[in-house]
Structure 1
Amino acid sequence: MIRTGVIGVGYMGQNHVRIYSEISDLVGIYDVDIDHSRAVARRFGTQVFEKIEDLIQKVDAVSICTPTVDHFDSTLMALKAGKSVLLEKPFTGDSGKASLLANEAEKQDVVLAGGFVERFNPVVSAAKEALEVGRFGKIISISSKRVSSFPSRIRDVGVIMDLAIHDVDVIRYITSSEIIGVFGMGGKFANDRFEDYANLLLELECGVTGHVETNWLTPMKVRKVSMTCSKGYVQLDYIDQVLEISSSEVREIDPGNLFQVPLEFDVRRLSLKKEEPLKRELQDFLAAVRSSGKPKVTASDAIMDLKVCEAAIRSVREKRKIEIAH
C-alpha cells in the first residue's frame, strides 16, 4: 500500500487522516499544535511527527492541509524530496507560486494534485457525463450559489479564494472550457480585511455565460448549481447529491384565452448513490501516484482556477471587467 501522511490536521486535515487510515498505509501526521495532533493520532491510530521533514522522508505521498500561507513552503519541501502531493484549495492562493510548484513536480516526476473536492461530487460527475452525451442539449448558461456563515478556520484569504474557487473549478470542468473574462462585484461587510461577499460574471471561451454568488454572511449553508440548456433546466444540489431536470412543452395556444397558456411540465429528480467526495478525491490521487498518471485535478487546473480568482478579486477592487490570459 502507498505510505501516506497529512500535514495540517485542522478542520479539513482530520478528514484526510480519517480516509487515509481506511485506504492507505497512514504513516503519520504533523501539525504545529502538538497536543491537537496527538488527539487526532490517538483517534485514528497513527503517529505524530514533530518535524515536517521527518514525516516527508517516511511517506510516498502527502496531503497538505495547512493554512494557505504555509502551502507553498511545505509543498516545495515535499516535492524536492521526491514525494507526491495533494495540496488543498486554494492551492497556493497565488498563480505564480503555483506555477513554480508545477515545474518542480514535473522536474521530480511526481504527482501534484489540487484539492478541489467538488469535482468529485457524484452530481457533478453525473451532470458532466449527461452533457457529454447530449442528454441536456447545449449548455447556455451556468450559475452557482455557495453561501454560508463565516468560518472561524479561515484567516488568510477572502471568500473568493475560499469558496468561489470551487465553483470556478466546477464551471471549467463541466463546460470543458476556459474562463477568459470576469466582472466581479462585492466587498467587506462583517470584516475589514477580506471580501466576504461577491458576485462574479464569467465569460467562457465556448460562449457559455457563468455566474457565481458567494458569501460568508448567510445563516444557512447552500451549495447549488443550475444550468440553462437547450433541452431543459438542470439543478445540482451538492449537499443532498440530487440532480433535477426540468423541461416543458407548449401546446396549441388559444389567442382568446392567454390567461391559461397550455404548458406541460416534466420534472425528474434523480437521487444518486451517495458517496463522500473527499474519499473519491483521495482515491483518485492515490491511483495517480500508483500509476504515475494524472489526477483529475492537475496543477495546471489549479493554476487556471487561481488566475480566474485573482482576476475576480482585482475586478471587485477596480470595478471593471478583467480579461484572463492563458
Structure 2
Amino acid sequence: MGAMGRNHARVLNSLEGVDLVAVADPMASASAVPSGVQLVQEVEQLIALGIDYAVVACPTIFHEPIGLALAEAGVHALIEKPLANTAEASNRLAEAFESRGLVAGVGHIERFNPAIASLRERLEAGELGEILQVVTRRQGPFPGRIADVGVVKDLATHDIDLTGFVTGQTYRTISAQTISRSGREHEDMIAAVAQLSGGTIANHSVNWLSPFKERTTVVTGDRGCFVADTLTADLTFFANGVVDTEWEALSNFRGVSEGDMIRYAIRKREPLLVEHENFRDAVSGKSHDIVDMRMGATTVAVSESMLRSAATGETIVLDGAPAS
C-alpha cells in the first residue's frame, strides 16, 4: 500500500469483473485499505485465500521472492516495473510463470498512456516515414520512497520499454554516463545513446535531480516529428515544410523547414485503469495487450547494459532479442 499500491487498490476495487479480496502489507494500517477488503501481513496469507491473481507493488528487491511464491501456488501475477532487480532474477520469474502456464505481466504503464498508444499506431501506419531518432527526457525531484535501485532501473526502464514499443525495434548498442549526487549508493542521473536494430538512434536523459517534472518523448522521421507528453497525454505532430529560400547563405542547405503543427484530440483514459483492464482480460482468456515477463526481462537487461557502459566507459553491444 505504498504510492503505487494505493492506486492499484483503488482501480481494482472498482474494476468491473474483479473482486479485490485482500491486501498483503506488513506495514499498512487498516484505514489505508478499501472498505470491506481484508488486510493480511504476508503473501502466503493472501495465497491461502484462494485468489485468482495478485498485483505485486513493493520494493523491487522483493519482486522475485514474492513472484516465485505466487507462481508456485498457481496464482497469476502483474508485477510492477522493473520486473526484478537483476536480469537473472527477471528471467527466473519469467520461467516460473511460463512453466506453469500462468498469465504474468509487468506494469510498464507508459504503454497504456493515450499519447504513447496513439504514437505507436501512427508510426505503425507509416505517418512519419522512416524513424530516425527517439529522444526521451524523464526527470523530476528525488522520490524518498525509492531506496533499492537507482534512476536507471526505476525510471529509465520506462523509456527503454516505450522506445521498443513504439518503434518495434530492439537495442543493439548502448553508451551511457551516470552520476550520483544525492549521497545514495545508486546513480541519480543518466545520459545514454543507443542504436536500435532498425538503425534508429535513441537518446535518453533521466534524472532525480530536477526541481520540475518532465516526461517527454520526441520521435523524428522522414516526414517530421512527433512529441508525446505523457504527463498531459498530449501528442503533437510537427510536419516538415518545403519552402524555397532566396537567402544565398542557405540556398545550398538541404534540410527541412517548419511546416504545419497538429495537436491530436485523444481520448484520455487513465493508463492504470487500461492496464488493469487488459490484465483482467488476459486472466479471463480474452483478447488483451499486456507486457509479458520476457519483455520485462529484456528491459531489465538493457538497463543493466546502460549501467555497465557507465561503469566501464565502453559501448556495450547487446545480443539479439525479440522486438516488443
TM tier relative to shorter chain: over 0.9
Alignment of 1:46 with 2:46, yes or no, is: no
Alignment of 1:127 with 2:116, yes or no, is: no
The match for 2:89 among 81, 87, 97 is 97
CA positional deviation for 1:325: 1.7
Structure 2 unaligned segments of length 5 or more: list them: none
Counterpart Cα distance in 2 of 1:66 and 1:175: 30
- Of all paired residues, the percent bearing the same amino acid is 29
1:6 corresponding residue in structure 2: none
2:262 corresponding residue in structure 1: 268
> Hey, which bits of structure 1, 4+ residues long, moved more than 2 A?
248-253, 255-259, 261-265, 292-296
The match for 1:245 among 228, 237, 250 is 237
Residue 100 of structure 1 aligns with an amino acid whose one-letter code is R
1:196 corresponding residue in structure 2: 188
Question: Are residues 258 and 212 of structure 1, via their aligned partners in 2, closer, same or farther at CA, if it must alter by over 3 Å?
Answer: closer
Residue 223 of structure 2 contacts residue 240 of structure 2 at CA under 8 Å; is this kept in 1?
A: no
Counterpart Cα distance in 2 of 1:108 and 1:45: 32
Query: How do 1:36-115 and structure 2 match up within 5 A?
Result: 36-41=28-33, 43-57=34-48, 58-115=50-107
The match for 2:19 among 16, 19, 25 is 25
Question: Are residues 293 and 300 of structure 1, via their aligned partners in 2, closer, same or farther at CA, if it must alter by over 3 Å?
Answer: farther
Question: Are residues 223 and 44 of structure 1, via their aligned partners in 2, closer, same or farther at CA, if it must alter by over 3 Å?
Answer: farther
CA positional deviation for 1:233: 1.0
Residue 241 of structure 1 contacts residue 271 of structure 1 at CA under 8 Å; is this kept in 2?
A: no
The match for 2:110 among 118, 143, 146 is 118
Counterpart Cα distance in 1 of 2:91 and 2:191: 27
CA positional deviation for 1:181: 1.4
* Deviation larger for 155-164 or 262-271: 262-271
SS at match of 2:91: helix
CA RMSD of aligned residues (A): 1.9
SS at match of 1:202: strand
Counterpart Cα distance in 1 of 2:71 and 2:314: 38
Structure 1 unaligned segments of length 5 or more: list them: 1-8
Alignment: residue pair count: 314
Residue 197 of structure 2 aligns with an amino acid whose one-letter code is E
CA positional deviation for 1:264: 5.5
CA positional deviation for 1:256: 5.4
| CA deviation string 1:228-255 (max 9, x = no partner) | 1111111000011111101132333224
Residue 285 of structure 1 aligns with an amino acid whose one-letter code is F
Residue 174 of structure 2 contacts residue 305 of structure 2 at CA under 8 Å; is this kept in 1?
A: yes
Residue 110 of structure 1 contacts residue 292 of structure 1 at CA under 8 Å; is this kept in 2?
A: no
SS at match of 2:20: strand
Counterpart Cα distance in 2 of 1:264 and 1:205: 29
SS at match of 1:26: coil
CA positional deviation for 1:72: 0.5
Counterpart Cα distance in 1 of 2:248 and 2:195: 42
2:156 corresponding residue in structure 1: 164
CA positional deviation for 1:190: 1.6
Residue 111 of structure 1 contacts residue 292 of structure 1 at CA under 8 Å; is this kept in 2?
A: no
Residue 17 of structure 1 contacts residue 44 of structure 1 at CA under 8 Å; is this kept in 2?
A: no
| CA deviation string 1:50-107 (max 9, x = no partner) | 3321212321000001111111001100011000000101111211111111111112
